[in-house]
């Protein structure tokens, strides 16, 4: 046994001595990526008018206009469905689970039963499983239709495996005037509409109205600015209404990553260069600036002053911060979480098993942000037509998309799930109309999205490795929550994020 | 000689099923992984550039791999000795012919029927700081159960994962050791008893040496299991807590949802192949290091 321990220790020492001090990302790359020709970039902070693009970098094929780019992409012959013989079998990979999966299945069943041209089969997984599976599949094993989360836009464009929905819209003369412009813009880049928004969400504030009352605050006036957030938390803690005012988390898909992008949009600033990667490929993230630093300094001081509690990286459940509202012994009165779970949050926290909160006590409000400015970025997922090379299947996929994003279906979908409907006319139809009238809490994410100013910073970042960039950003946020220096931590994260972007661009450019 | 050749078709036919299955599910993926491990590919893994065999060295020496290797080794050093000691201890305790021992044997071996996922969820429900059972019962006595919580404190996260892992594999260890105990000839104990050996003497001079081969086998299995820890990490900590990530094991680095290389087929293949070699070396070291001390009987 002793000998084994010695051998193991020796092996560890040897292994440790082997360390190169470099990131795994730089493996197998000689010479390093930095020697590439510099791409065309906008200086940080500068903008182009919405819809315009930078002249392409010299390395790309030819100076093309945006219309020409669409012509070079796979076509969408939407009339091919009419001439198809027999029902077209469609496979749709999606990332909806639990009640969301049930709702999607119900919509699909209705579609399958209502016509005989197309039969859709759903394949369910998590977003992450769907992404893995999709990226590793060859053309023959890919589905006809896939749902991808908002952080996948650039990767999907780079996969060169899709038919842009704009081709289908043009070919079928589709009327998109009822769609939320911000919803469409989130899935457009290089002047092309790539995918169709289907399930839109954004972060909102969940709070316990009863604790607001106990603390002497107006439960119908939740905090709007960060200063409000601090003042209300102070009142809650001082009055003893709850142990903490706010539950903070450093998850990549929440407090550590996604919200940072949201807060930058609220502040009217870009998160990444080249207009958040929309006018040309982004080359760097910009969050180590006064806005980012003051934002994280604010969060850090909330924690050190005992006004907020850190629930950690939220890695396993994804809703540890929401559970803090239901904590029997040391609860928090507020937290920020995605609107996609509004229904679940109200049902679980309001189920009666948590003594300090009932259904009526669950408050939902717009996400507080710097200066109290309104607005939010589009989160959630969109529908992508996969290039199968088969005209009938492409046309059938488009037919199913027009069904899923139809006004009546969106009304049904949004009322069951809590997602923001992708079109305004869905709000005038039942069941959503009645639902929003009886419980206005479900309208908060919609109003918040519509309040976004019509400026380029209101369209979120698309980076090839956005998922990984969020992960390294979340590491910095976790360190800052743990007491590390704000500027140093952000600088380290920016460096890692930029290395990830450079590596991705080198492999996918 | 002639006869041997005549039997060849039969031999091939008999071997074919297992050869096909092994080839398809073990050899082909391994060869493919080794081949992918020196490539850097685009997001779809289709357009690749050769990073050279040096890519394996780069991956091995990278901060992330070294960090995950050290975490995994720490996990193994916790789970293997403690798991073995508890398994042997419980098996020896349950090896008595007394009334009701069957109940205890069932209890001790019950975790063998529990999947790692279920075991991890049980521990998660026990330890989760907000709604978990233990933090809400004992937060007055041990405040750190509540804030930050065992799974969220960088100092205790790995031991907490190890606890769940040890618990989950205890049933397996118990059953294997119990079976070996029953194979030890009773005469050995009787003659030791006649020679005046006490309980401890009989345990250390008869039981332990006779258990040697089984302990060696179990330690190799437990070590391999520790180096393949994925489910408990994914369910209990997600490789966290950030930013130290003390529970990011090698399998989690390769496949976990918070890993930087999870969508990079080249780098994650390289890391997986390296994990295979690390385990190969470890098993070799264990067999060489322990084999000489093991008594296989005559």
Beta-strand relationship, A203-208 and A308-310: unpaired
Structural domain count of chain B: 1
Scan for tokens 């089969």, then name that residue: A121
Which is nearest to A313 in space by CA: B258, B96, B32?
A: B258
Helix (H) or strand (E) holding A343, with range, is helix A342-349
Q: What is the mean pLDDT of residues B166-178?
A: 94
Are B267 and A24 within 8 A, CB to CB? yes
Residue of B nearest to A19 (CA): B61
When pLDDT is cut at 50, 70 and 90, the band that residue A60 belongs to is very low
When pLDDT is cut at 50, 70 and 90, the band that residue A40 belongs to is low
When pLDDT is cut at 50, 70 and 90, the band that residue A61 belongs to is very low
Are A329 and B136 within 8 A, CB to CB? yes
Torsion of CA A93, A94, A95, A96, to 10 degrees: -140
pLDDT at B246: 94
pLDDT at A9: 59
Q: What is the mean pLDDT of residues B103-123?
A: 89
Q: What is the mean pLDDT of residues A223-233?
A: 96
Torsion of CA B196, B199, B202, B208, to 10 degrees: -170
pLDDT at A38: 47
User: Containing domain of residue B221, as a range?
Assistant: 63-291
Residue of A nearest to B243 (CA): A475
pLDDT above 90: residue B131: no
B190 in a domain, yes or no?
Answer: yes
List, in order of start, the domains of chain A with CATH numbers: 66-201+378-458 (3.40.190.10), 203-375+465-508 (3.40.190.10)
When pLDDT is cut at 50, 70 and 90, the band that residue B292 belongs to is low
pLDDT at A56: 43
C-alpha B110, offset from chain centre: 18
B36 in a domain, yes or no?
Answer: no
Q: Which residues of B touch A323 (CB under 8 A)?
A: 128, 130-131
pLDDT above 90: residue A199: yes
Is the model more confident about A434 or about B294?
A434
Q: What is the mean pLDDT of residues A101-108?
A: 94
Residue of A nearest to B151 (CA): A312
Average pLDDT, chain B: 89
Are B263 and A252 within 8 A, CB to CB? no
Q: What is the mean pLDDT of residues B113-128?
A: 91
Q: Which residues of A touch B128 (CB under 8 A)?
A: 317, 320, 323
Is the model more confident about B233 or about B3?
B233
Average pLDDT, chain A: 88
pLDDT above 50: residue A62: no
What does the pLDDT look like over B35-68, one tens digit per residue? 999 999 888 877 888 988 899 999 999 999 999 9
Give the pair of three-digit tokens for residue B245.
Answer: 């990530």
Instruction: Return d(Cα B12, Cα A227) in angstroms, integer.
Output: 78
B129 touches chain A (CB under 8 A): yes
Check: pTM over 0.90? Answer yes or no. Answer: no
pLDDT at A267: 94
B57 in a domain, yes or no?
Answer: no
B290 touches chain A (CB under 8 A): yes
Give the one of A24, A26, A327 whose C-beta lies nearest to B131's C-beta.
A327
Residue-wise burial string across A430-468, b where 16 or more C-beta atoms lie within 10 A, e elsewhere: eebeebbeeeebbbbbbebbeebeeebbbbbbbbbbbbb
Are A313 and B240 within 8 A, CB to CB? yes
Are B236 and A468 within 8 A, CB to CB? no
Q: How many angstroms away from the CA of B37 is the closest CA of chain A?
A: 10
Q: Which residues of A touch B227 (CB under 8 A)?
A: none
Q: What is the mean pLDDT of residues A86-97?
A: 93
In percent, the amount of chain A with pLDDT more than 90 equals 70
Tell me the three-class secondary structure of A287-312, residue by residue. Answer: CCCHHHHHHHHHHHHHHHCCCEEECC
pLDDT at A57: 42
pLDDT at B263: 84
B146 touches chain A (CB under 8 A): yes
B44 in a domain, yes or no?
Answer: no
Instruction: Return d(Cα A290, Cα A301) in angstroms, integer.
Output: 16
- B8, burial (CB in 10 Å: exposed 0-12, middle 13-18, buried 19+): exposed
When pLDDT is cut at 50, 70 and 90, the band that residue A80 belongs to is confident
The secondary structure of A102-168 as a DSSP string is HHHHHHHHHHHHH-SSEEEEEEE--HHHHHHHHHH--GGGS-SEEEEEGGGHHHHHHTT-EE-HHHH
- Contact in structure between A338 and A379 (CB atoms under 8 Å): yes
Q: Which residues of A touch B70 (CB under 8 A)?
A: 12, 15-16
- Return the minimum-mean-pLDDT range out of A39-48, A185-194, A383-392, A460-469: A39-48
Interface of B with A in 164-223 (CB under 8 A): none
Give the one of A16, A160, A471 whose C-beta lies nearest to B258's C-beta.
A471
pLDDT at B99: 85
B232 in a domain, yes or no?
Answer: yes
Instruction: Return d(Cα B84, Cα B225) in angstroms, integer.
Output: 13
pLDDT above 50: residue A64: no
B21 in a domain, yes or no?
Answer: no
Which is nearest to A33 in space by CA: A17, A44, A22?
A: A22
Q: Which residues of A touch B41 (CB under 8 A)?
A: 507
Give the one of B42, B240, B242 whose C-beta lies nearest to A158's C-beta.
B42
Are A310 and B66 within 8 A, CB to CB? no
Q: How many angstroms away from the CA of A348 is the closest CA of chain B?
A: 13
Q: Which of B47, B70, B133, B242 to mutate to test the interface with A (most CBs of A within 10 A)?
A: B242
Most confident of A18-27, A230-239, A312-321, B2-11: A230-239
**Interface predicted TM-score of the whole assembly (ipTM), two decimals:** 0.86
B177 in a domain, yes or no?
Answer: yes
pLDDT at A53: 54
Instruction: Return d(Cα A160, Cα A171) in angstroms, integer.
Output: 20
Looking at residue B198, which CATH number applies to its domain? 1.10.3720.10
When pLDDT is cut at 50, 70 and 90, the band that residue B257 belongs to is confident
Which is nearest to B269 in space by CA: B12, B70, B38, B23?
A: B38
Are A315 and B258 within 8 A, CB to CB? yes
Tell me how many residue pairs between chain A and chain B have CB atoms under 8 A apart: 182
B257 in a domain, yes or no?
Answer: yes
pLDDT at A66: 54
Q: How many angstroms away from the CA of A360 is the closest CA of chain B?
A: 21
In percent, the amount of chain B with pLDDT more than 70 equals 96
Helix (H) or strand (E) holding A500, with range, is helix A486-508
pLDDT at A322: 92
């Amino acid at each position: 046994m002793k000998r084994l321990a010695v051998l193991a220790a020796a092996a560890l020492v040897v292994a440790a001595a082997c360390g190169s001090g470099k990131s795994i990302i730089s493996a197998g790359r000689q010479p390093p990526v930095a020697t590439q020709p510099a791409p065309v970039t906008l200086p940080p902070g500068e903008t182009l008018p919405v819809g315009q693009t930078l002249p392409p970098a010299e390395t790309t094929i030819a100076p093309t206009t945006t219309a020409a780019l669409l012509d070079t992409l796979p076509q969408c012959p939407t009339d091919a469905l009419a001439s198809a013989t027999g029902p077209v079998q469609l496979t749709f990979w999606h990332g909806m689970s639990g009640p969301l999966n049930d709702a999607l299945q119900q919509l699909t069943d209705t579609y399958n039963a209502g016509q005989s041209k197309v039969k859709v089969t759903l394949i369910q997984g998590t977003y992450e499983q769907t992404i893995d599976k999709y990226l590793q599949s060859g053309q023959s094993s890919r589905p006809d239709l896939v749902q991808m989360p908002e952080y996948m836009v650039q990767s999907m464009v780079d996969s060169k495996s899709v038919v842009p929905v704009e081709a289908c819209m043009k070919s079928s003369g589709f009327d998109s005037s009822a769609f939320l412009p911000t919803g469409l813009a989130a899935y457009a880049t290089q002047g092309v509409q790539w995918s169709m928004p289907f399930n839109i969400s954004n972060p909102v504030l969940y709070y316990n109205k009863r604790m607001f009352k106990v603390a002497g605050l107006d439960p119908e006036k939740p905090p709007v600015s960060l200063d409000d957030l601090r003042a209300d938390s102070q009142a809650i803690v001082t009055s003893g209404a709850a142990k903490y005012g706010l539950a903070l988390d450093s998850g990549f898909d929440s407090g550590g990553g996604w919200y940072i992008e949201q807060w930058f949009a609220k502040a009217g600033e870009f998160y990444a260069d080249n207009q958040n990667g929309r006018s040309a490929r982004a080359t760097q993230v910009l969050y180590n600036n006064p806005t980012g630093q003051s934002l994280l300094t604010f969060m850090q001081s909330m924690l050190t002053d005992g006004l907020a509690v850190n629930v950690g990286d939220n890695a396993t459940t994804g809703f540890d911060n929401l559970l803090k509202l239901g904590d029997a012994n040391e609860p928090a009165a507020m937290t920020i979480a995605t609107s996609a779970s509004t229904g679940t949050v109200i049902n679980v926290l309001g189920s009666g098993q948590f003594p300090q909160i009932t259904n009526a006590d669950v408050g939902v409000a717009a996400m507080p942000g710097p200066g109290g400015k309104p607005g939010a970025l589009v989160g959630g997922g969109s529908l992508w037509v996969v290039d199968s090379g088969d005209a009938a299947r492409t046309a059938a996929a488009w037919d199913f998309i027009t069904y899923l994003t139809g006004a009546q279906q969106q009304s049904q979908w949004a009322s069951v799930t809590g997602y923001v409907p992708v079109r305004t006319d869905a709000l005038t139809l039942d069941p959503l109309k009645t639902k929003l009238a009886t419980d206005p809490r479900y309208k908060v994410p919609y109003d918040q999205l519509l309040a976004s100013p019509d400026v380029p910073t209101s369209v979120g970042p698309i980076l090839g490795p956005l998922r990984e960039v969020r992960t390294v950003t979340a590491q910095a946020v976790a360190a800052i929550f743990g007491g590390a220096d704000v500027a140093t931590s952000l600088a380290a994260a920016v460096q890692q994020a930029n290395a990830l972007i450079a590596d991705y661009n080198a492999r996918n450019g | 000689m002639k006869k041997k050749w005549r039997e060849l078709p039969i031999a091939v036919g008999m071997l074919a099923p297992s050869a096909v299955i092994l080839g398809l599910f073990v050899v082909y993926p391994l060869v493919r992984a080794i081949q992918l491990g020196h490539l850097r590919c685009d997001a779809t893994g289709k357009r690749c550039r050769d990073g050279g065999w040096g890519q394996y060295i780069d991956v091995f020496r990278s901060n992330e791999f070294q960090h995950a290797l050290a975490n995994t080794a720490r996990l193994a050093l916790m789970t293997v000795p403690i798991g073995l000691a508890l398994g042997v201890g419980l098996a020896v305790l349950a090896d008595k012919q007394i009334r009701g021992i069957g109940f205890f044997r069932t209890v001790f071996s019950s975790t063998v029927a529990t999947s790692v996922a279920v075991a991890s969820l049980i521990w998660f429900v026990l330890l989760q700081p907000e709604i978990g059972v233990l933090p809400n019962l004992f937060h007055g006595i041990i405040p750190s159960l509540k804030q930050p919580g065992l799974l969220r404190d960088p100092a205790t996260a790995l031991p907490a994962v190890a606890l769940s892992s040890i618990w989950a594999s205890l049933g397996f260890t118990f059953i294997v050791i119990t079976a070996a105990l029953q194979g030890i000839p009773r005469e050995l104990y009787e003659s030791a008893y006649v020679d005046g050996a006490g309980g401890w003497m009989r345990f250390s001079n008869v039981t332990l040496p006779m258990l040697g081969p089984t302990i060696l086998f179990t330690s190799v299995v437990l070590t391999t299991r520790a180096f393949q820890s994925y489910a408990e990490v994914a369910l209990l900590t997600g490789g966290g807590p950030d930013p130290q990530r003390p529970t990011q094991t090698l399998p989690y680095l390769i496949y976990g949802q918070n890993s930087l290389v999870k969508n990079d087929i080249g780098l994650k293949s390289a890391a997986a192949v390296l994990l295979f070699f690390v385990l190969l070396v470890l098993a070799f070291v264990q067999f060489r290091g322990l084999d000489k001390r093991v008594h296989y009987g005559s």
